[in-house]
Structure 1
């Protein structure tokens, strides 16, 4: 049996193996999602519920504001580097749905290059969020600060 204590849930959520430079990925992913979430409320017909209705998503009047709120909350958490791994999960789901519902039809109708052009931001956001899920927020984050204080508290 191991003499080490099991890691706490807080520690598992906040630990990070990413370098401090991961802040660049956090700034990119967090700011894009925060901005897009706000725009779903500012321009609901074009970006929020109206767009969701146009592409055939169910209950767009509920789904549009819900996705906007998720993007705002998770984007802000990513920017702060707080609960970054948890915040990345709904962002990954959002991007998978976006690619499936809006970019796959472009692939089918107009071909690979049209889809590649239209989906560049989607892929960048998906891969950025996946990166944050896998390695965490990096050294310049609230997660890292919390993890350090948790380690110090547990070592006493």
Structure 2
């Protein structure tokens, strides 16, 4: 089971996706904790999520941990799952109202980063950490 979680290929370019996805999530998670009124609980309250104080910190911590794991290529597939869920919830809670009130073009414009992060996370779930990852080192050593 563990070997399936850390399994990855020899791709040397996956690190590019890991750096982008991991770096953005790490940064966003830190900002949710540093600036809760505009990035964390305050934003969650504005969009109508329940328990915004709890979920602002909860999501921020997950973004920090999973972003760091992805940057390192450590348990990459596992770390991508919460990030996929976060992005699906973000799109559902913040972008559907844009579609209803402003139309498809504004939705597409406003959600481009969300889609990039969702698809980047999905890529990492499918491919794993790539050649330059802790997952690959563990695989080579017989896990």
Q: Any unmatched runs of 5+ in structure 1? A: 1-8, 152-156
TM-score, length-normalised on structure 2? 0.98
- 3-state DSSP of counterpart to 2:120: helix
Q: Give the ranges of 4+ consecutive aligned residues of structure 1 lying more than 4 Å apart after TM superposition.
A: none
1:43-122 equivalences in 2 (<5 Å): 43-122=35-114
Equivalent position to 2:18, from 17, 23, 26: 26
Distance 1:76 1:63 in 2: 20
How many angstroms apart in 2 are the aligned matches of 1:97 and 1:62?
Answer: 16
Larger Rg: 1
8 Å CA contact 1:18, 1:137 repeated in 2: no
TM-superposition CA deviations, 1:95-123 (whole Å, max 9, x none): 00000000111011100110111100000
Q: State the superposition RMSD in angstroms.
A: 0.9
Question: Residues 6-45 of structure 1: matches in 2 within 5 Å?
Answer: 9-17=1-9, 19-45=11-37
Q: Who is 2:138 aligned against?
A: 146
- The count of aligned residue pairs is 143
Distance 1:101 1:147, change over 3 A: same
Matched, 1:136 2:128: yes
Normalised TM-score (structure 1): 0.90
